[in-house]
Structure 1
């Protein structure tokens, strides 16, 4: 079936947009590489039998399973794919520049917070215009790519955060992980762990997007909203973290910890808990001690919404609209239930964004059920309608976390400053 795709007028890409992308383009997740580009700039608007593809996985070279999968979808569509891999920040900035020059690739895979910024420039087609069916995609995952009610891409999968625990440490401290269901029970568990001579919990409070990413489950779990950074609920969340430091339940190193650093700390076997993501599943299985997962708890119980990580597949506007039919076939190949599971396994692990895909994944790997539950409770960082304002708000938030953890300001004062900074820097 033919679908007509309008060619929207591209908005000029501003320096502010580029700066915003530099903020959201930080390599937040283990699946998002921080390495250099691979393959060189891909020429856009290729021949009829060559289609251009950009993704943020330079760690997967031309001989990798991932590259083979991309080429297989090209073959299924009857074309060759010319793939170029950049690191996350370079990819989003390169996409903006390419759009300015009218040289966008046919397909881009990019970190989900960047979708709204690219869409705001007018350089992306909507999934409706492109004739793609998103009815099976979980709404909480699709929302990360929605701008003004229109979806601009399809998630190829999602990853998120939970609490890993060291079963041996918890047993020695007399802590039943199933007893942890809210902030009070978690803090009580940390008290027992430290009293037993172990370290309590480590997390990433670093002054980058990773710091915001790790703080958001506690922020949202308190009932706070990113449009109101200094609400009483937000203050409670930051007081939880500072209280753990004050009591010795978390080390001072969290102020500078990245997510990789927290994982290295956890693998020493000294900690009861670490906040980390789906991408550590294989490493946890190979740890020198038994590990388990508990969901990040909300303040008063239930699973706290954690932010979603993962990439969206998007289709930039092309002057030659005849290319869209083949591009659609490539995208559809990547987003079948089987394709979602293959992506999940390639990146160990992305959780498929559809119920059918999740069911198929659990048939292969039933131990991933806690992660499916976590993703089902997650939310996109831009899905509260923040769009291109998110990077400014996030920077204000991680700065507040830094100021509070370091003792430079109280949680309330740090967040009041953050709210003022966010208001002055957003639309």
Structure 2
């Protein structure tokens, strides 16, 4: 490797992107193209960066497997940042194995970290945690240690383990300062702010207030009967009753919990659960059937008793009943939650992350665009959707993936 390539690589490693470009801007050999691609990615021109890295990978000879693997890892990171979840993860794993086999453990660890970040993004937290545990961050340079701790904090936040998240973020902050990379330090600070922003609303006894993530964690552990509208479950202590596939039952449970300790009229329950403006005999019969099903689902947690005008909820072992609701609700709240990170998402990536069909996601995006809540950038396959970050609206409780007791 010649001196200019070495100097450019050192400049990139230290965060001097422009200094690296000055050394390789006029060269079109494979190493220079790779470094230019990484530099353009750091400057935010991801389309150009991706093209340069592809050209560099094609330019390396058959004996330069490590260099090609590094280009693949850089492409994978660009795909993750640009929310291109259709990029093949098997290619990243193959590149990681090549780097590991040739002794490039630093870049192999970086490849593993990218794969874990993708798993966290799409809600596969168990796999992400297992893969993260297999990586030892001790021998890594400060920048990679910071990235490792950011992933650990992300998993802990989504598991509502705020103490573990804060500890990981503190370690990430220390590593970022050691790396002396302002961009990385800013990323850690942005991640840490999630813990100090309201994450949900608490509705209880006719009043509501915002809750921080630590307060949500405490709510789940203090024995309160919680109707969780973020995860569509009913929980008390360690017992969790999932109702995501039973929307009518969940609507009834939420209406009863919001009114607790008073009852709810039959007409109000019919309007809430069945969307009926006028209650007739068929609605009343159906309400009795669904209330019976709700009683069966909540057996041991709460009782649903009939009153003169309707029904009331009575917790079995808990002294309080509360509803945990998202800060923003609506038919497309989950899509907005992903777009609230300020990144540009493709509709196919949103479909993968949400576990929904592409047509369903596209209809949601079109509806939100009509309400001017999201905007499209680009055309055809290059079209991306984004939304300005919403203040006080972290995405954690709407992102996929189970909580510890789910």
TM-score range, shorter chain: under 0.3
Larger helix percent? 2
| Normalised TM-score (structure 2) | 0.27
Ranked by relative contact order (alpha carbons within 8 Å, sequence separation 6 or more), the top structure is 1
Return the index of the structure with the highest Cα Rg.
2
